[in-house]
């Protein structure tokens, strides 16, 4: 049995864990990272990156199909086809480049990587069934970063035709038909991609609208696009199990007879839960927040020198939040006085069109006791959007009525994910309407709609 002593032990090599490890290494801390699967975690291997690759390929294919059928700007394309095996190979190539890049960065910063499943024996000791034999790692500080996994439904356990996002990202071919249970961002991102690749997609959502965690105004352009793509959306509907033959999903909708929905694959995307299987949490005395590990504003758990970051600690389960927490914890361990006091954690939904939100929605701002003004600028009046044939959508700004402090910014439209940086920066720097109004925004760009939404609240909009 090998024994390793270190200053910092990190369990889990996803965005939370690997960023904590890189930062700890940069700060000269003797660091060990334990990972049971691929470096990069959910995000690089079966989440953010492969899903965005698939979404991009599907978008390119649907553009080609559109040119072949209606040639809106005169491109001549004849009957495009897709070699899906090659698409998956391309996607896997990107994943490979990024995960090996993470390995190289960890090495450069002298982080020791132990491959294998880690089990906590106590708050300072972890046992790993490593490829090279059992290892016991003792450290002064432990960072738990084991992430999350897809939630399954009791009536629809994963297996056979019932798949999670992980399997959906590595299908050998485009299914002829796909039923997606759950119209949150993961279900809709993947459902839209497969619809563009030619699958007949049906979405089943228990709430009365898609993207129930977003405000209704932001979901409308996405609902319109799903309809244009021929995606059937059943809201107020529940998948209650499989038919006896296993090839149909039983779907119950108020006021309607139970429907047998046949499909080649049933993608269950109803949420994610903390990944703590076999971690030995029962041996630690950690306060919990429901199923998640409870942390304070320093990502400190209820045990001294045991830290937790990322999805394991709850919503918002986003890679960039995990990374920011990971970097912060490494700095705290190195002696810095830091707290996680971000004004906003932008969130992007890579649907068609995309949605980006940062800070508060108008309703949340009002609930928080603010009197607010909102300004909305539609992409129909934005030159760049017209040149992209992407008019559906808008930028919306929410600001305090008294001092014009911007509280929230949201956008829905093609390519708006790239506006997340501007929105996050404005909120983090405490921008007021006049700050954005006084900033020159390059023309012609989608960002001009952000400028105009601010101007609109001030009664100074120029292009509407
Ligand atoms: C389909 C999909 C698309 C997504 N798209 C986005 C997106 O566009 N943007 C975004 O911000 N987020 C997205 N996410 C969410 C994002 O992937 C997660 O928020 C992020 O990966 C969380 O990072 P983490 O480090 O907390 O955990 P994870 O990335 O889950 O990493 C945890 C790691 O810990 C390892 N581990 C667990 N237990 C042990 C153990 N006992 N021993 C050793 N290793 C262990 C796991 O193998 C895993 O590699 C997406 C998720 C999915 C599923």
Does residue 125 have its Cβ closer than 6 Å to ligand 1? no
Ligand 1 contact via 356 beta carbon (within 6 Å): no
Residue 147 CB–ligand 1 contact under 6 Å: yes
- Of the candidates 254, 252, 250, the one whose C-alpha atom is nearest the C-alpha of residue 238 is 252
Best of 16, 42, 190 for a ligand 1 pocket test (most atoms within 8 Å of beta carbon) = 42
Q: Cβ neighbours of residue 109 under 8 Å, at least 6 residues apart? A: 21, 22, 24, 25, 26, 31
Q: Whose CA is nearest to atom 49 of ligand 1?
A: 41
* pTM score, whole prediction: 0.97
> Which strand ranges, in their side-by-side order, compose the sheet holding 162-163?
162-163, 265-268, 177-181, 200-205, 232-235
For atom 19 of ligand 1, which residue has the closest CA?
318
Residue at token pair 């080609």: 64
Distance of CA 96 to the CA centre of its chain: 20
186 in Cβ contact with 269 (< 8 Å):
yes
Q: 358 C-alpha to center of ligand 1: Å?
A: 21
Q: Which of 338, 294, 299, 305 is nearest to 141 (CA)?
A: 305
Distances (CA, A) of 151 to 50, 138, 154, 207, 243: 19, 32, 10, 17, 21
56 is catalytic: no
As given in the structure block, the two tokens for residue 461 are 């909009």
What's the 41 CA to ligand 1 centre distance in angstroms? 5
Mutational test site, ligand 1, from 275, 319, 348, 418, max ligand atoms within 8 Å of CB: 319
Q: Is the CB of 318 under 6 A from ligand 1?
A: yes
In short, whether 146's Cβ falls inside 6 Å of ligand 1 is yes
Nearest CA to ligand 1 atom 45: 12
Q: How do the pLDDT tens digits run along the chain, 464 residues long?
A: 789 999 999 999 999 999 999 999 999 999 999 999 999 999 999 999 999 999 999 999 999 999 999 988 899 999 999 999 999 999 999 999 999 999 999 999 999 999 999 999 999 999 999 878 899 999 999 999 999 999 999 999 999 999 999 999 999 999 999 999 999 999 999 999 999 999 999 999 999 999 999 999 999 999 999 999 999 999 999 999 999 988 999 999 988 889 999 999 999 999 999 999 899 999 999 999 999 999 999 999 999 999 999 999 999 999 999 999 999 999 999 999 999 999 999 999 999 999 999 999 999 999 999 999 999 999 999 999 999 999 999 999 999 999 999 999 999 999 999 999 999 999 999 999 999 999 999 999 999 999 999 999 999 999 99
Minimal-distance CA residue to ligand 1 atom 37: 146
């Amino acid at each position: 049995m090998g024994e390793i002593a270190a200053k910092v032990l990190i369990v889990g090599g996803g965005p939370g864990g690997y960023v904590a490890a890189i930062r700890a290494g940069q700060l000269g801390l003797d660091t060990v990272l334990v990972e049971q699967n691929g470096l990069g975690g959910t995000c690089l291997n079966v989440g953010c990156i492969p899903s965005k690759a698939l979404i991009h390929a599907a978008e390119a294919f649907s553009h080609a199909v559109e040119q072949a059928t209606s040639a809106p700007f005169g491109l001549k394309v004849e009957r495009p086809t897709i070699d899906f095996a090659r698409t998956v190979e391309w996607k896997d190539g990107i994943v490979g480049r990024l995960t090996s890049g993470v390995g190289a960065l960890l090495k450069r910063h002298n982080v020791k990587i132990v491959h294998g499943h880690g089990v906590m024996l106590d708050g300072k000791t972890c046992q790993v069934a490593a490829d090279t034999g059992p290892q016991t790692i003792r450290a002064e500080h432990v960072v738990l970063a084991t992430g999350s996994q897809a939630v399954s439904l009791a009536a629809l356990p994963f297996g056979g035709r019932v798949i999670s996002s992980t399997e959906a990202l590595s299908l050998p071919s485009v299914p002829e038909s796909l039923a997606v249970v759950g119209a949150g961002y993961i279900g809709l991102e993947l459902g839209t991609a497969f619809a563009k690749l030619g699958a007949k997609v049906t979405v089943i959502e228990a709430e009365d609208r898609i993207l129930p965690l977003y405000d209704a105004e932001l979901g409308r352009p996405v609902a319109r696009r799903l309809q244009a793509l021929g995606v059937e959306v059943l809201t107020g509907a529940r998948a209650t199990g499989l038919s006896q033959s296993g090839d149909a999903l039983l779907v119950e909708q108020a006021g309607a007879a139970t429907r047998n929905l046949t499909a080649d694959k049933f993608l269950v995307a109803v949420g994610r839960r903390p990944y703590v299987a076999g971690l030995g949490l029962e041996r630690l005395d950690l306060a919990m927040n429901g199923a998640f590990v409870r942390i304070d504003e320093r990502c400190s758990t209820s045990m001294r020198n045991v830290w937790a970051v990322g999805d394991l600690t709850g919503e918002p389960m986003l890679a960039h939040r995990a990374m920011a927490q990971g970097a912060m914890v490494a700095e705290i361990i190195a002696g810095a006085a830091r707290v996680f006091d971000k004004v906003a954690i932008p969130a992007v939904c890579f649907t068609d069109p995309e949605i980006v939100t940062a800070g508060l929605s108008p309703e949340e701002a009002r609930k928080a006791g603010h009197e607010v003004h909102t300004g909305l600028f539609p992409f129909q009046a934005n030159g760049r959007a017209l040149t992209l044939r992407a008019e559906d959508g808008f930028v919306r700004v929410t600001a305090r009525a008294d001092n014009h402090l911007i509280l929230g910014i949201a956008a829905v439209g093609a390519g708006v994910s790239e506006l997340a940086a501007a929105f996050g920066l404005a909120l983090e720097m405490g921008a007021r309407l006049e700050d954005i109004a006084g900033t020159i925004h390059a023309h012609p760009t989608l960002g001009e709609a952000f400028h105009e939404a601010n101007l609109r609240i001030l009664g100074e909009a120029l292009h509407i």
